[in-house]
Structure 1
Amino acid sequence: MTLTPAATSIRKKYNQLLRLHPNLFTPAERLTLKNILVEHYASEKEQNLAPGRSIFDRIHIVGIVLDEIGLGKPAVLSVLLHEMTEKGKISVKEINQRFNTSVDSIIHGLSHVENLYKRNASIETENFRKLLLTFAEDIRVILIMVAERLYVMRNLDAYPEEIRQGIARECSFLYAPLAHRMGLYAIKSELEDLSLKYTNREIYKEIAKKLNETKRSREKYIAEFITPLKEKLNTLGITFDIKGRTKSIHSIYSKIKKQNTAFENIYDLFAIRIIIDAPIEKEKAVCWQAYSIVTDMYQPNPKRLRDWISIPKSNGYESLHTTVLGPEEKWVEVQIRTRRMDEIAEKGLAAHWKYKGIKSESGMDEWLKNIREILENPELNAVDFMDEFKLNLYDKEVFVFTPNGDLHKLPKGATVLDFAFSIHSELGSKCVGAKVNNKNVPIKHVLDNGDQVQILTSPTQKPNQAWLGIVTTSKAKNKIRQALKEVEFKDAEIGRETLIRRFKNWKIELDDGNISRLAKKKGYKTVSDLYQELAQGKLDILLIKDAYLNLDKRDTIQEPEVKSAESFSKEPQQVDVKEDVLIIGQDLKNVDFKLSKCCNPIYGDDVFGFVSVTGGIKIHRTDCPNAPQLISRFGYRIIKARWSGKSVGSLYPITLRIVGHDDIGIVANITSLISKEKNIQLRSISIDSNAGLFQGNITLMVNDTKDLEAIVKKIKLVKGVKNVSRA
């Protein structure tokens, strides 16, 4: 039988995998698997399968699962056969029996993921929650999905142009963070680079070109740095490898953006990695010996020492990082680790199983528990949900102690209040402060590594809205939101009971429909909000009585509705934007577009276009609060947009949030200042004072970001103003 080139390629790759992993299957299992695959390949070879769906693709994914992640037989069988179980060609029970293993949870997870993706080309928020729950059932599902996405990204050119952007964006926002959290640093970097390559090809090519141009000089410098180190390290009498590693293109691009500088000003384009062969019991000592040699030879920056050997990261990462002053007065990052540590750094969780018993998996259990806490809060809106999830993925850790010496791990930036909620919800709700290293501190105090923390409580303390701005952990935020909801519910119940009782005394029949109309007319989002303000004494019940009785009277003079600046800005007058001011896509002509009301972009903002269901285009700021959701769910409907020419004759509404001391003179000074500006008009102002502070929303009409930045600077100089930000 003559094999086709495709079949020859498949057999070659399959045999290569078996040679590299001779103990993966018994001879009988190899024959069984071969027969299943041949039969399946014969049935699918005539089909025009989508990219990533063929036997050829799945065998390559198996290669990633085995060689780059380090999973074993159950994962390999699940990748190769889970689609066949969906088609009823083989059952999960039959796979378990034929190959003497259990694939139930993995195949169930992969099938669940596929069903979610079939509903939509991109992940909707609710589907995203379900996807994460699927992941949380068996960590291997995450690792296989990351492997599949890596294969897709490596072959993205084979996919239709119209879906590449969506796949690349989803990779950046979901799969790269997952790879990072699983400890798959090499895969994480490659996914980020490939995502950047397709979402911002110009930037990617520019950095790649500059890296290539500087490659020779960089290699020369690395050799100059390494040579004397090798000689010294040889005196330890150990086996080691030492090499220079260039940072990823995405990492360099992130530094360029963060530091707002040019490529030429980024000094740490590479890192030196020392990998030592050492028995487990001597790992720490040998790593610190190597560190001593490095810092004896080159001056270290003590602020840049990172010790993840004494206390590893929660994803298992172990390494010593330091930054030293090398030749030509250049700072160089040096990473020191053992062979075992390096394998865990490259293959993450899978390498833990290889070294089972050496390190605990409790860190990952803790992470999965945190993910579940986020998922259990259905009231979290889409944007907050994504922010919480990303924070949980990318957390960096601090380690603090209780007075009894118990160690607690928290994300970097965690406060005393986070720590209290991490111990117990009741302790968090009653927290009024803490003693940190025997010094009294407030609940918003940010904790540092090694702090000893004793929580102080009061029986009268209860959570309030401001606490959400103090805590960083998902557990604390969820518990605070739950407590606030309970308080709001109780207040609403009290307010309703009060209104029913008073209406009964006045012999007025209370109609729920009319109360809903009244609440809406008064500007409340829900009837519960009206009831809460009644209970809290913020609303005069006599005014409600009069408004209720006059609800259906046509000749009733309505109270003028006082709108806050925020609501006012959501209903701006039509902004006349000239067609030639905004370039959409590839300079599309005669395109119907509108400026989105959720973020009110103005001339000069970084923007993008979103194709609405009506066919028109909505223009959003790139930092719009809805942008993450739009990009993740509808990446295929995102198009490029940029401003052009000059903003002449067009005024755009913009709302500023101002916080300052409660002094009417400040407001007068601000309005006076604005009235003197030629190119700026004051649309509305709304002020609310509380506890000696005022918070106000001011809506202005401005030409562009240049005028906006100028007026913000001037307002900040007004005496008593504490903060000015764009709403």
Structure 2
Amino acid sequence: MLRQYELVERVKEYAPEADEALLNRAYVYTVQKHGTQKRASGDPYFSHPVEVAGLMTELKLDQQAIITALLHDTVEDTLATIEEIEKLFGTDIARLVDGVTKLSKIEVMTENERAAENLRKFLLAMSEDLRVLLVKLADRLHNMRTLHFIKNPDKRKRIARETMDIYAPLAERVGMYEYMREMQLLAFEQLEPEGYATITGRLAQIRSQEGGQVDAIALAIKQALAEADIQVEVTGREKHPYSIWRKMAERHVTFEQITDIMAFRVLTETPDDCYRALGVLHQHWQMIPGRFKDYISTPKSNGYQSLHTALIYENSMRMEVQIRTREMHRLNEFGLAAHWAYKQGGTRPDGQVGWLRDLIEIVDASHDAEELLEHTKLAIYQDRIFAFTPKGRLHQLPKGSTAVDFAYAVHTDLGNAAVGAKINGRHVPLRTQLTNGDVVEVIKSTSSEPQLSWLGFVVTGKARAAIRRAVRAKEHQEIATIGSKLFDAIAGQLPTRIGKKAIEAAVRRLELRDEEDLMFAIGSARLSDREVMEALVPGSTAELPDDPDWTRSEVSISIKGLTPGMGFELADCCHPVPGDRIVGLRRPDHKVEVHTIDCLTLANGVDADWLDLSWGSRTTGAVGRLRLVLYNRPGTLADVTQTFATNRANVVNIQVIHRDEPFGTYEVDLEVADLAHLTRIIGTLRASQAVAEAERI
């Protein structure tokens, strides 16, 4: 662990003007606040923020970032407050610490919701100041280095998965490849321990068998370039174990079939030297077609610049070669952090604004935790392609992107209005996937709107978020239209004609925003007829009977896949209960019908939109229908009802279908918790001496 004076000396080496007293105060503050707390490794807890601060000094970040690193866990894990930090260290540092601090655990939230809320806050804070991201990445990297001390394997895997899905791609997006590679390697070890052991073992075996072959190839490359009067520095290594694993998975090949295990880096003085070196290497060794990439003329969105090629060396051995200048290499390894110059007034490094702005738009558009996580993972997807507008503006998109993804990348309004596209001058369907270098022209119409079916082929988080938001707005309007029709029926039961003023007064009494919000609340069954009537004409329901026609029963079922507040009804034809696989049929001006997946009446739903649904967290109160054949003798019906009572099932309705001499056939509507509950009751009935047959309708 870094000592106090060592940390200060590191900062003063590259920032002589740094406030030594403030740095010392922050170091002492974090040591005092964390006190006797211990990490899983047994080390004092304050060793973690000190090591994170040390990582910040390696990036040569300013003193505010160093102090933020020292304090980043104090608010979450000690009695320190943001107000106290602001008083001791200033507003800027307090803002940075607040940005990095994870939200306190909220027990009522699911794991996904907690992760999503942490991510939401993190992204918003990051948009204000990129140093929040840099500190957070260093925090995660140090936690990954000590992950093996955590005894619970499930917790280790959860942290590793989060690192692989969120933090490693974020490190890549800001060009911090050293952080990305180490995070991936450490996460890979936890998530795929057998694969990790196999690949690292094979690499060690190759290293011992081939001895100095890497050094020999590096020397051959250097000599070939020296003969062409190009002075370079050449280094070689085996490819990253996780990179090999991913290639094996993507190509469905074995380790032996991966031919380009060796990778070499050539550092030159100027960009001209890069292209000259490329030409020499291609003349000296045979290049592998399709493997050349020029990221110097067309940098990645994170600023990464390099030439990539693959060559065939002696004995048909393949090797990957990256050629770049020394300055490019410095920026590539640590990205935006490498040229961070946070001036007074808060200017940001160029290059981060575009994709970061997309992330913030996704935060605003995402409806719930699962959507936010899905959209964000898509937004930081790593494999990219390049496409151009007709005016030559470059856009980088994930591999597999379509014309719709491109339209939303240009502007959300363009995506919403898209009706067609031209790729390289040729009309194509909107679902057409783009390839590198395509020129894309989006055809739009003012009367067009996003289609739900687009979600079946778009791949970018921004497009998915915008489409879902537009579809939800349309659904909201449809529900409000249903509500308007219901409102007319409700108003018709009142003793007086309802005008605009009465509606405005009702909106105020119900604490709603406007008339449309009222219609939506009625259409989505959030308000009962009685509540609406009382809001329109206070006292009008006093004489009404307090029966089910006038009181709204408590909603006890929730459905995932519907817009919040959207009205739905469980279909009478199949009586779905929680645990059944379900789909929804949505028709204009009607509630969504929820059916079991094997319901025979689904064949009549060709004129409806089909929705992929699942059951939510509330699972009580669904009604299943049974057909019972009982022996026609005294006491059998009492035995059956006793079975229902014993199994805590409420009989909603019972109907005699027909009777003959030995048997009676009944249909019973039974309120149950879920499919397992209903199945258990059927099993009990079939074992009863009173029941000849029991089946679900």
Name the TM-score, length of structure 1 as normaliser: 0.64
What letter is aligned with 2:134? L
Q: How far apart, in 2, do the equivalents of 1:314 and 1:53 lie?
A: 40
128, 147, 152: which one pairs with 2:119?
A: 128
Is the counterpart of residue 489 in structure 1 residue 450 in structure 2?
Answer: no
71, 75, 89: which one pairs with 1:95?
A: 89
Q: Is the 8 A contact 1:179 1:187 kept in 2?
A: yes
Distance 1:526 1:502, change over 3 A: farther
Q: How far apart, in 2, do the equivalents of 1:115 and 1:693 lie?
A: 41
Q: CA deviation at 1:150?
A: 1.4
271, 274, 291: which one pairs with 1:287?
A: 274
1:601 maps to none
Q: How far apart, in 2, do the equivalents of 1:696 and 1:36 lie?
A: 53
Q: Which runs of 5+ in 2 are unaligned?
A: 496-527, 532-547, 584-596, 614-697
Distance 1:477 1:200, change over 3 A: closer
1:299 maps to 286
Q: Deviations over 1:594-648 (max 9, x none)?
A: xxx89xxxxxxxxxxxxxxxxxxxxxxxxxxxxxxxxxxxxxxxxxxxxxxxxxx
Distance 1:490 1:66, change over 3 A: same
Distance 1:458 1:55, change over 3 A: closer
227, 231, 234: which one pairs with 2:226?
A: 234
Distance 1:151 1:36, change over 3 A: closer
93, 99, 102: which one pairs with 1:113?
A: 102
Q: Is the 8 A contact 2:185 2:242 kept in 1?
A: yes
What letter is aligned with 2:251? Q
Query: SS where residue 352 of structure 2 aligns?
Result: helix
Query: SS where residue 348 of structure 1 aligns?
Result: helix
Alignment of 1:208-247 (within 5 A): 208-218=200-210, 220-247=212-239
Is the counterpart of residue 571 in structure 1 residue 579 in structure 2?
Answer: yes
2:364 maps to 376
The number of residue pairs the alignment matches comes to 539
Distance 1:14 1:264, change over 3 A: farther
Q: CA deviation at 1:437?
A: 2.3
Q: Is the 8 A contact 1:247 1:269 kept in 2?
A: yes
2:66 maps to 76
Q: How far apart, in 1, do the equivalents of 2:599 and 2:462 lie?
A: 39
What letter is aligned with 2:298? I
Q: Is the 8 A contact 1:434 1:455 kept in 2?
A: yes
Q: How far apart, in 2, do the equivalents of 1:527 and 1:94 lie?
A: 45
1:561 maps to 573
1:472 maps to 459
Is the counterpart of residue 143 in structure 1 residue 151 in structure 2?
Answer: no
Q: Is the 8 A contact 1:688 1:694 kept in 2?
A: no
Q: CA deviation at 1:308?
A: 0.9
Q: Is the 8 A contact 1:687 1:694 kept in 2?
A: no
Alignment of 1:438-449 (within 5 A): 438-449=425-436
Q: Which has the larger radius of gyration?
A: 2
Q: CA deviation at 1:369?
A: 0.8
431, 442, 447: which one pairs with 1:455?
A: 442
191, 202, 210: which one pairs with 1:199?
A: 191
1:341 maps to 328
Q: Is the 8 A contact 1:373 1:474 kept in 2?
A: no
Q: Deviations over 1:183-217 (max 9, x none)?
A: 11122121122122233333322222222111134
Q: How far apart, in 1, do the equivalents of 2:565 and 2:29 lie?
A: 63
Query: SS where residue 435 of structure 1 aligns?
Result: strand
Range with bigger deviation, 411-420 or 190-199: 411-420
2:693 maps to none
2:241 maps to 249
Q: Is the 8 A contact 2:130 2:348 kept in 1?
A: no
2:691 maps to none
Alignment of 1:589-668 (within 5 A): none
Q: How far apart, in 1, do the equivalents of 2:33 and 2:133 lie?
A: 29
Q: Is the 8 A contact 1:113 1:134 kept in 2?
A: no
Q: CA deviation at 1:347?
A: 0.8
Range with bigger deviation, 403-412 or 466-475: 403-412
Q: How far apart, in 2, do the equivalents of 1:530 and 1:115 lie?
A: 34
Q: CA deviation at 1:19?
A: 5.5
Q: Is the 8 A contact 1:519 1:530 kept in 2?
A: no
Q: Deviations over 1:346-392 (max 9, x none)?
A: 11111133699xx994531111111111111242x433322211111
Q: Is the 8 A contact 1:519 1:526 kept in 2?
A: no
Q: Which runs of 5+ in 1 are unaligned?
A: 1-8, 534-557, 573-596, 599-654, 656-681, 698-727
Q: CA deviation at 1:689?
A: 6.8
Q: CA deviation at 1:303?
A: 1.2
2:519 maps to none
Q: How far apart, in 1, do the equivalents of 2:326 and 2:24 lie?
A: 35
Query: SS where residue 214 of structure 1 aligns?
Result: helix
Q: CA deviation at 1:168?
A: 2.7
Q: How far apart, in 2, do the equivalents of 1:365 and 1:403 lie?
A: 23
Query: SS where residue 376 of structure 1 aligns?
Result: helix
Q: Is the 8 A contact 1:687 1:695 kept in 2?
A: no
Q: Is the 8 A contact 1:78 1:107 kept in 2?
A: yes
Q: How far apart, in 2, do the equivalents of 1:225 and 1:327 lie?
A: 10
Q: How far apart, in 1, do the equivalents of 2:207 and 2:8 lie?
A: 34
Q: CA deviation at 1:274?
A: 0.9
Q: How far apart, in 1, do the equivalents of 2:564 and 2:128 lie?
A: 40
Distance 1:691 1:395, change over 3 A: farther
Query: SS where residue 403 of structure 1 aligns?
Result: coil
Q: Deviations over 1:556-608 (max 9, x none)?
A: xx995147xxx68x636xxxxxxxxxxxxxxxxxxxxxxxx89xxxxxxxxxx
What letter is aligned with 2:429? P
Is the counterpart of residue 353 in structure 1 residue 340 in structure 2?
Answer: yes
Name the TM-score, length of structure 2 as normaliser: 0.66
Q: How far apart, in 1, do the equivalents of 2:379 and 2:316 lie?
A: 38
Distance 1:116 1:341, change over 3 A: farther
Q: CA deviation at 1:510?
A: 5.9
Q: CA deviation at 1:345?
A: 1.7
What letter is aligned with 1:75? A
Q: CA deviation at 1:114?
A: 6.0
2:354 maps to 366
Q: How far apart, in 2, do the equivalents of 1:695 and 1:104 lie?
A: 46
Q: How far apart, in 2, do the equivalents of 1:184 and 1:526 lie?
A: 39
Q: Is the 8 A contact 1:687 1:696 kept in 2?
A: no
Distance 1:489 1:107, change over 3 A: closer
Query: SS where residue 456 of structure 1 aligns?
Result: strand
Q: Deviations over 1:526-562 (max 9, x none)?
A: 997569x9xxxxxxxxxxxxxxxxxxxxxxxx99514
Q: How far apart, in 1, do the equivalents of 2:66 and 2:72 lie?
A: 10
Distance 1:316 1:517, change over 3 A: same
Query: SS where residue 102 of structure 2 aligns?
Result: helix
Q: How far apart, in 2, do the equivalents of 1:355 and 1:528 lie?
A: 46
Query: SS where residue 302 of structure 2 aligns?
Result: coil
Distance 1:467 1:270, change over 3 A: same
Q: Is the 8 A contact 1:421 1:427 kept in 2?
A: yes
Q: Is the 8 A contact 1:17 1:63 kept in 2?
A: no
Q: How far apart, in 2, do the equivalents of 1:527 and 1:90 lie?
A: 40
Q: How far apart, in 1, do the equivalents of 2:494 and 2:199 lie?
A: 77
Q: Is the 8 A contact 1:154 1:194 kept in 2?
A: yes
Q: Deviations over 1:30-65 (max 9, x none)?
A: 366446645864786656566676443333222222
Q: How far apart, in 2, do the equivalents of 1:693 and 1:491 lie?
A: 13
Q: Is the 8 A contact 1:274 1:337 kept in 2?
A: yes
Q: How far apart, in 1, do the equivalents of 2:285 and 2:492 lie?
A: 85
Q: Deviations over 1:282-315 (max 9, x none)?
A: x2x2111111111111222231111111111111
